[in-house]
C-alpha cells in the first residue's frame, strides 16, 4: 500500500541519502562549479551534509521542527559560502513549518517544502531564471503541488523529475546571481551546480521514501 505520510525517521533517511549523493558526486559538482563559480560546491556540500548526518546520529530529533533545526543550523555553521546560508535556511524554514509534528502528510510536506523555498528566495534574493538552485527548487514544488491529489509518492516522484528538468534547463541561461554572474555570457552552456545539488536533494527524497517510480 502506498504510504500517505513521512515520519521523522523518513526525514533522517532523506538527510542520509542526500549526504551519500553529495559525497558520491563531490568531484562532479566541484567540476561544474569550476566552470562558472569557484570550484568548491561539491567539497562544501559533502562536508556540510556529513556534519549534518553526524549531528542527527548524536541527537536523534523527535519532531519535524527539531530535525529541520538540527540539519539547518549544522549546514549554516559548517558549509560557509552561499550554499551554507541557502541550504541552511531551506531546512530551518522546512522544520519551522512542520513544528512539533512527528509526521507529514502530502499537504503538510508540500507546505514545508514551500516554506523552505520562500526562505531561500528571501535569503538569496534570486528569481527564477537567474541560473541558481531556485530553477530546480521552484519547478519541483510546482510539480509536487500539481501531483499531490495522486498521493504522496506520486507527488515526490513528480517533484524529483521536475527538479532534474529544472537543473537541465539552467544550461542555456546566463547567470545573474552569485559568482557565476561575473562571467556574463560566458556562463551560458554550463549547468548550474546549485540547481544540480537541488536535483539530488529531490532524488534523495524519492529514493529514501520509496517513491522512486
Partner 1 sequence: MKKLINDPDGVVRDALVGIEVAHPDLRVDHENRIIYRREPTRPGKVALISGGGSGHEPLHGGYVGFGMLDAACAGEVFTSPTPDQMVEATKTADSGAGVLHIVKNYTGDVMNFEMAAELAESETGVRVASVVTDDDVAVQDSLYTAGRRGVGVTVLLEKIVGAAAEEGRDLDTLAELATRVNASGRSMGMALTSCIVPAAGKPTFDLPENEMEIGIGIHGEPGRHRVPLAGAREIAEQLVEPILADHDFTGAPAIVLLNGMGGSPLLELYLMYGEVQRILEASGVTVARSLVGNYITSLEMAGCSVTLLRADDELLGLWDAPVATPGLRWGV
Residues that bind partner 1 (CB under 8 A): 30, 34, 37-40, 43-44, 47, 76-86, 123-124, 174, 176-184, 186
Closest CA to 111 of 97, 121, 101, 123: 97
Closer to partner 1 at the Cβ: 155 or 180? 180
Interacting residues of 135 by C-beta distance below 8 A, sequence separation 6+? 128, 129, 166, 167, 169, 170, 173, 192, 195
Closer to partner 1 at the Cβ: 81 or 151? 81
Q: In the bound complex, what is the minimum distance in angstroms from residue 82's beta carbon to partner 1?
A: 4
Residue 39 Ramachandran class (φ > 0 left, ψ -120 to 50 alpha, else beta): left
Closer to partner 1 at the Cβ: 33 or 145? 33
Q: CA 85 → CA 42, 146, 171, distances in Å?
A: 16, 29, 24
Q: In the bound complex, what is the minimum distance in angstroms from residue 3's beta carbon to partner 1?
A: 35
Cβ neighbourhood burial of 67 (10 Å; 0-12, 13-18, 19+): buried
Q: In the bound complex, what is the minimum distance in angstroms from residue 194's beta carbon to partner 1?
A: 11
Closer to partner 1 at the Cβ: 10 or 40? 40
Closer to partner 1 at the Cβ: 69 or 123? 123
Q: In the bound complex, what is the minimum distance in angstroms from residue 134's beta carbon to partner 1?
A: 13
Torsion angle (degrees, nearest 10) of CA 183, 33, 162, 46: -150
Closer to partner 1 at the Cβ: 89 or 211? 89
Alpha helices (runs of H) in 59-105, residue ranges in sequence order: 64-78, 83-98
Q: In the bound complex, what is the minimum distance in angstroms from residue 146's beta carbon to partner 1?
A: 31
Q: In the bound complex, what is the minimum distance in angstroms from residue 117's beta carbon to partner 1?
A: 16
Amino acid at each position: 500500500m502506498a504510504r500517505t505520510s513521512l515520519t521523522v525517521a523518513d526525514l533522517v533517511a532523506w538527510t542520509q541519502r542526500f549526504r551519500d549523493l553529495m559525497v558520491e558526486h563531490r568531484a562532479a559538482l566541484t567540476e561544474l562549479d569550476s566552470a562558472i563559480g569557484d570550484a568548491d560546491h561539491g567539497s562544501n556540500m559533502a562536508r556540510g551534509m556529513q556534519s549534518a548526518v553526524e549531528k542527527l546520529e548524536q541527537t536523534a530529533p523527535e519532531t519535524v521542527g527539531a530535525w529541520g533545526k538540527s540539519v539547518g543550523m549544522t549546514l549554516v555553521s559548517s558549509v560557509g559560502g552561499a550554499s551554507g546560508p541557502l541550504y541552511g535556511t531551506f531546512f530551518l524554514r522546512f522544520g519551522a513549518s512542520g513544528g512539533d509534528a512527528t509526521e507529514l502528510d502530502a499537504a503538510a510536506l508540500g507546505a514545508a517544502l514551500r516554506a523552505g523555498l520562500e526562505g531561500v528566495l528571501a535569503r538569496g534574493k534570486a528569481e527564477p531564471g537567474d541560473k541558481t538552485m531556485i530553477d530546480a527548487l521552484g519547478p519541483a514544488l510546482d510539480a509536487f503541488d500539481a501531483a499531490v491529489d495522486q498521493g504522496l509518492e506520486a507527488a515526490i516522484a513528480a517533484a524529483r523529475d521536475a527538479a532534474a528538468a529544472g537543473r537541465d534547463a539552467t544550461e542555456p541561461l546566463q547567470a545573474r546571481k552569485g559568482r557565476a554572474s561575473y562571467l556574463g555570457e560566458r556562463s551560458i552552456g554550463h549547468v548550474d551546480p546549485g540547481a544540480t545539488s537541488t536535483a539530488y536533494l529531490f532524488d534523495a527524497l524519492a529514493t529514501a521514501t520509496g517513491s522512486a517510480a
